[in-house]
Amino acid sequence: MTTLLAFLATLGILIVVHELGHYAAARWAGVRVLHFSVGFGRPLWKRTDRHGTVWALAAIPLGGYVRFLDEREAPVADNEKAQAFNRQPLGKRSVIVAAGPIANFILAIALLWGLNLHGYSTLRPVLAAAPAGTPAAMAGLQGGDWVLALNGAPIDNWQALAEGLLASDQSAARLDIEDAKGQRREVIVPSDSLKMAAQGGDPLRALGLLPGHPPLLPVIASVVADGPAAQAGLQAGDRVLAVNDEPVPDWQTLVQHIRQTTRGELTLTLERAGQLLTLRVTPQVVSEQGQRLGRIGASPQMDPVLLERLRVVHRDGPLEAMHHAIERTWDLSIFSLRMMGRMLMGEVSVKNLSGPISIADYAGQSAQAGWIPFVGFLALISISLGVLNLLPIPMLDGGHLLYYLLEWIGGKPVPDRIQELAQRVGIALLLTLMTFALYNDLARLLAT
């Protein structure tokens, strides 16, 4: 239920903001708006405002639209022709069309500005042990290594490391590493390994670069209310000694047992206030990176000194927060374009395309993690939607802007016949992309 509600909230917010961008620009330009719909198909609710605009909520929530008064769609009375979209000068038409994606970028900037102003914390990128045979293992990376910099640029969180590695497509990745003993060294991941990993559905996992953390004692710091751990009777301060009679020397071993249990229950032997107890817990099964994993809703107790060293707090003043929000939005937009370009060139696998099922899954996971991760996820999806809509593909806003650019260069509108043919090509291309994305979603779902 959380996943469904988070998905619907994500779609609703992004669609409304995008279409409101078109709507606001049209009102500014003096264009009459006939219909504003969130969703497609049969209206579930609608009303008409004092301007004559019909506002509707439709049954299929995978999109929305704003329809303007336009002589190309229906006859327009002589006294209303000045309000028709097709009668507007090229500049106004361009602004109206571009306003939707721009609204998505503005939403992302506002969300990121709020996060930067409120403050949030991340953990420094500490690597788990690399699987044998992976490029990371062959490069000498070990569990507990901390990544300090990538190609000379400081790295202080896992997301920055992931994005930086995905962007290292033409040269080797140079990692500055600090191991668990505090010794520093440099590790090189060859460019050939980076390019080969990009051909898979999960490039970082293919490289063997997995998130981890320093060794922790198997002591519980807190449990999620109503989660499997809480329902089984686990409490803060409990130290787990064994799982199914197998000794548990550290938190990583406990997590491994839990993650591998997607059916049945676990028997935990633990110590509480000097007494031995035995409890049974049934892990909750979740989907993560295309795998079914068990979770019980418990967090480890960490050494406060180590935690402070691992944790990075991001908090800015109003102006600095806005600067960083704009910079982040720009960087993610360019990153998205580069990844799309590399897919077209065959340098990155189309398996990285995600459809509505994956988006729903990520929305649910981020919502369960708290409002800060969900807001960050919403900003990321809003940027992706803005970039996608600006692509010069007929049927998208970017396709219309391409027509207007050609009109500006040639001095006259693109002929209707050419636009009609281009629309068909655009529909075919979008259906192909949607098919790939849905296929990837189903492949990940069936793999679980």
Catalytic residues, by residue number, are 19
Residue 208 CA to residue 427 CA, distance in Å, equals 38
Cβ 55 vs Cβ 69: under 8 Å: no
CA distances from 168 to 99, 174, 423 (A): 33, 10, 36
Residue 210 CA to residue 303 CA, distance in Å, equals 22
Cβ 103 vs Cβ 13: under 8 Å: no
Cβ 380 vs Cβ 332: under 8 Å: yes
Extract the tokens encoding 278. 């035995």
